[in-house]
Amino acid sequence: MAETPDRLGRLRDLASLLEESIKEASVGVRAQLAAQYRATLTEIDELEKSRPEQKGTALDELNARRAARESGASGRAGAAQV
């Protein structure tokens, strides 16, 4: 079965719905819902592990460089004041 782009989001929504349903369910149904909840969490974990690691955007890289530059500049300024 192919993963659709929205599949992970739909599984997370399902997990939230199951979690709420477990709280409100009768004792007789609770075990079945809990089993489905565990299976859903397992599937979410598997999909997250199989996804490629997401790299930051160009903007993220620029922000990281700016932060490194600013922290380096403040460290040099503090050393000069001693």
Would the pLDDT of 75 be above 80? no
What is the signed CA dihedral for 14, 17, 40, 45, rounded to 10 degrees? 80
pLDDT digits (tens, 9 = 90+) for 39-66: 999 999 999 888 877 677 888 888 888 8
Residue written as token pair 């349903």: 21
Q: What is the mean pLDDT of the chain?
A: 84
Would the pLDDT of 73 be above 90? no
Burial (0-12, 13-18, 19+ Cβ within 10 Å), 47: middle
Structural domain boundaries in the chain? 1-51, 57-82
Q: What is the CA radius of gyration of the chain?
A: 23
What integer pLDDT is reported at residue 1 of this predicted model?
A: 45
